[in-house]
Amino acid sequence: MTTIKHWIDGRLSSGASSRTSPVWNPATGQQQAEVVLAETADVDAAVAAARQAFESWSQTSLSKRTKILFSFRQLVDARAQELAEIIADEHGKVVSDALGEVQRGLEVVEFACGIPNLLKGDYSDQVSSGVDVFSFREPLGVVAGITPFNFPVMVPMWMHPVAIACGNTFVLKPSERDPSASMLVAELWAEAGLPDGVFNVVHGDKTAVDAILDHPDIAAVSFVGSTPIARYIHQRASANGKRVQALGGAKNHAIVMPDADVDFASDHMVAAAFGSAGERCMAISAAVTVGDAGDGLVDAVAAKAEKVRVGPGRDPASEMGPVVTAQARDRIVGLIGSGAEQGATLTVDGRGYAVDGHENGFWVGPTVIDRVTPDMDVYREEIFGPVLSVVRVETVDDAIALVNANAYGNGTAIFTSSGEAARRFQRGVQVGMIGINVPIPVPMAYYSFGGWKDSLFGDKHVHGPEGVSFYTRAKVITSRWPHVDNPVGASYHFPTHS
């Protein structure tokens, strides 16, 4: 049995704990490794290493930092296939999708390669006689990232390349369900020339997380995961005086107008609902059909859902893999059952799904539930599985009202050929990321990613300009160099008036 260890101060560490957690292969249902679960002492060791490393890393020139970032970018690109296979084995998603995840992470590294430009300050000459004002931004110190299982490479890469480029040192606490990709990433940072202690990985559960939230030497915490934990992280870390961005769960609606191209909309709906087995924070989980769009869309989506090729992530023929654990499967199956019990129509039922030769895998087939109403559990809960609920409404304003009544505000999309409806929708919905005929509108790395309402606690979104802002703080300097032979005397009014 492989034991996955921590990465602290540039080397592997078994840590102080004897506690471990199983790591499954979701396609076979077999345990393939165990991961050590940190005690507070292990977090302390990682933070001590990061704090020590900050002394020199924060003083390292922009040129040198950039050179390391470019090397890291090169190495991640070269090892993308290996990273994708590690993701497929522990998470379950298909390798082609995992490669897409690595690519989206790589784009954040590429954004961070531009750090000399991103950290340029402002300068105002002669704001008063002989007085100049300028500003620049400095790193915070040791910062931490706590990440979910569903994007084990991309989500941590929303954080550490930007934080490290800004001159911080980093402690990552990845999901204990798929911890191995972070170990290869740590090796690649080291190979790129990053000094020991700048990037550390501590595996663990609530014990490790709480040690991070309470540690006096951690200046900021980035979190991505479910809403109850995001809320908790925000409250506890904020109470301890830390800067916090905590991204939570989602219920993403895709509105289908009667003027939408049904074939186009249903293709994208199926990919957005069932890709990665629906375990994406930007997955479409609610299709909202307007007017008479319902019957045509449900028929098309149901036909395509039944054709999705479900199988092991390593099989190139598979389009959708298993869900992450047996518990996740059981929860999803239970929610599908509740939909039927509460009066919805199970148009395609993915319960009891089996894949030949992989009978013990954690399978749930694509599921379409029609005539869902907002009071049903399938609508209210974030299912985080391959389940598409269809809600039927009369007008685009009804659809906007439905989206806005939902507690979450991560992503949403509209399928239409009407610019007027699209514009009304984009201005009316209280959601952070909006797609117009684009079902999963994940912003590029040079924009910032984040939702509204219960999908984000804190005010800064991740990566892009807001990421740089989150990981730095500003200094504004007002300076005067009086002429030595002709000193200006002090005055009793604001110096800008002279």
Residue 227 and residue 145: Cα distance in Å, rounded? 16
Minimum CB–partner distance for residue 250 and ligand NAD (Å)? 5
State the amino acid at position 303 in one-letter form. Answer: A
- State which residue, 185 or 297, has the beta carbon closest to ligand NAD: 185
73-81, 131-139, 142-150, 190-198 -> range binding ligand NAD (CB under 6 A)? 142-150
113 is catalytic: no
User: Contacting ligand NAD (CB under 6 A), which of 28, 40, 226, 240?
Assistant: 226
The DSSP line for 307-334 is H--B--TTSTT-SB---S-HHHHHHHHH
The residue count for binding ligand NAD (CB under 6 A) is: 27
Please answer whether residues 435 and 412 qualify as being in contact, where contact means their C-beta atoms are separated by less than 8 angstroms. Answer: yes
Residue 188 and residue 70: Cα distance in Å, rounded? 12
Interface positions, 368-407, toward ligand NAD (CB under 6 A): 382, 384
Q: Does 46 bind ligand NAD (CB under 6 A)?
A: no
Residue 411 and residue 97: Cα distance in Å, rounded? 20
Name the DSSP letter for residue 218.
Answer: E
**Can you read off the two tokens belonging to residue 198?**
């700048």
From 75, 88, 260, 281, active-site residue = 281
φ, ψ at 487 (rounded to 5°): -65, 140
Minimum CB–partner distance for residue 307 and ligand NAD (Å)? 27
User: Contacting ligand NAD (CB under 6 A), which of 143, 188, 212, 229?
Assistant: 229
59-67, 125-133, 140-148, 418-426 -> range binding ligand NAD (CB under 6 A)? 140-148
User: Contacting ligand NAD (CB under 6 A), which of 156, 161, 197, 249?
Assistant: 249
Residue 71 and residue 52: Cα distance in Å, rounded? 23
What track of x and - describes contact with ligand NAD for positions 201 through 220 (by CB under 6 A)? ----xx--x-----------
User: Contacting ligand NAD (CB under 6 A), which of 140, 247, 254, 308?
Assistant: 247
Minimum CB–partner distance for residue 195 and ligand NAD (Å)? 26
Minimum CB–partner distance for residue 10 and ligand NAD (Å)? 23
State the amino acid at position 380 in one-letter form. Answer: R
User: How many Cα atoms within 13 Å fall on the side-chain side of residue 49?
Assistant: 24
Q: Does 17 bind ligand NAD (CB under 6 A)?
A: no
Please answer whether residues 143 and 237 qualify as being in contact, where contact means their C-beta atoms are separated by less than 8 angstroms. Answer: no
Residue 370 and residue 51: Cα distance in Å, rounded? 54
Minimum CB–partner distance for residue 469 and ligand NAD (Å)? 18
Length of the chain: 498
Minimum CB–partner distance for residue 77 and ligand NAD (Å)? 23
Minimum CB–partner distance for residue 128 and ligand NAD (Å)? 46
Q: Does 224 bind ligand NAD (CB under 6 A)?
A: yes
- State which residue, 446 or 452, has the beta carbon closest to ligand NAD: 452
- State which residue, 319 or 454, has the beta carbon closest to ligand NAD: 454
The DSSP line for 343-399 is T-EEEE--TT---TT-TTS-----EEEES--TTSHHHHS---SSEEEEEEESSHHHH
- State which residue, 331 or 424, has the beta carbon closest to ligand NAD: 331
Interface positions, 264-283, toward ligand NAD (CB under 6 A): 281
- State which residue, 44 or 205, has the beta carbon closest to ligand NAD: 205
What percentage of the chain's residues is helix, strand, coil (to nearest 5)?
40, 25, 35
User: Contacting ligand NAD (CB under 6 A), which of 180, 410, 416, 448?
Assistant: 410
Residue 82 and residue 98: Cα distance in Å, rounded? 10
37-45, 169-177, 312-320, 329-337 -> range binding ligand NAD (CB under 6 A)? 169-177
Residue 3 and residue 405: Cα distance in Å, rounded? 46
16-24, 62-70, 150-158, 266-274 -> range binding ligand NAD (CB under 6 A)? 150-158
User: Contacting ligand NAD (CB under 6 A), which of 278, 350, 361, 451?
Assistant: 451
By three-state DSSP, how is residue 171 classified? strand
Closest CA to 289 of 347, 335, 337: 347
> Residue 324 burial (CB < 10 Å; 0-12/13-18/19+)?
buried
Please answer whether residues 274 and 310 qualify as being in contact, where contact means their C-beta atoms are separated by less than 8 angstroms. Answer: no
State the amino acid at position 195 in one-letter form. Answer: P
Interface positions, 172-191, toward ligand NAD (CB under 6 A): 173, 175-176
Closest CA to 286 of 314, 256, 310, 254: 254
Q: Does 148 bind ligand NAD (CB under 6 A)?
A: yes
Interface positions, 293-332, toward ligand NAD (CB under 6 A): none
Show which residues are catalytic.
Answer: 281
Residues within the interface to ligand NAD (CB under 6 A):
146-151, 155, 173, 175-176, 205-206, 209, 224-226, 229, 247-250, 281, 382, 384, 410, 451, 455
